[in-house]
Amino acid sequence: MNTKRPVPVTVAVVLLALLSVLYLIFPLLPTEGVPALVVYSNVVWGVVGLVVAYGLWTHKRWSMWLAIVLCVLAILLASPGLIAPSSALLGVLATVVVASAALIILLVVLPNSRRAYKRGT
């Protein structure tokens, strides 16, 4: 396996790991008005995100596609928080999630990044 990692992949891994940690700590934040299912499903989302981040780090092809799917879903699910947040904190978190997820998608589909995943398995 090639251990030389393109910079966009490294940045995408770091962003995805940070976003996943944010999902993991979300239940600890004040979440008035947010359904319990959403709050606790974020923990599962965070664990899956960390697994995908590890896959990106080790150049697994499946992780590129899972990262894209995970980020598209994150954008779709966080978008209502942009339009009508129940608190200022949730509005800021929704903005961070949408911007980070969009940037992760961009970083993993760059030609340099895609070449790294062709070398991996």
38-53: pLDDT as tens digits: 778 888 999 999 999 9
pLDDT, mean of residues 76-98: 85
pLDDT of 10 reads 93
1 domain-assigned: no
Coil/strand/helix, residue 3: coil
72 domain-assigned: yes
115 domain-assigned: yes
106 domain-assigned: yes
38 domain-assigned: yes
User: In 10 A of CB 97, how many CB atoms?
Assistant: 22
Distance CA(45)–CA(73), nearest Å, equals 10
29 domain-assigned: yes
pLDDT, mean of residues 55-76: 92
2 domain-assigned: no
Number of domains present in the structure of the chain:
1
Residue that is written with structure tokens 């978008």 in the block: 79
The parent domain of residue 104 ranges over: 7-119
Q: How distant is the alpha carbon of residue 18 from its chain centre?
A: 8
